[in-house]
Amino acid sequence: MHSELHDYVKKLIKDEEFNNLNFQYCTEDDFNILTHKLKNSVEISVLHLNIRSLNANHRSLCQFLAMIKLKFDVITLMGYQSRILSQHLTWVQPCL
């Protein structure tokens, strides 16, 4: 999240948990370190990702999911064409 937008939202939402969220890009290793600290306090994990093109990026998504230790309860993808999604349903299950 852009820092100006983040600062603006922090002013609107006076919630300590929100203010402690990290909106920076990170590597898979950084992600694993950050989520390891939270593993006992996570009730449900959700990944929301703009995949842009599922056809072009499905392998990268599978690689990312294989490299991270947190297994998401819910994965939502946006930015794909629904007709293409049906072609890739066979790879979704092995990634989960």
pLDDT category of residue 47 using cuts at 50, 70 and 90: confident
pLDDT category of residue 15 using cuts at 50, 70 and 90: confident
pLDDT of residue 86: 55
pLDDT at 77 over 70: yes
Closest alpha carbon to 65 in 43, 92, 39: 92
Give every CB contact of residue 16 below 8 A, 6+ residues apart in sequence: none
Average pLDDT of the residues in 62-76: 91
pTM of the model: 0.60
Instruction: Kindly tell me the burial class for residue 58, based on how many C-beta atoms sit within 10 Å of its own C-beta (0-12, 13-18, 19 or more).
Output: buried
For residue 26 the two structure tokens come to 């990170």
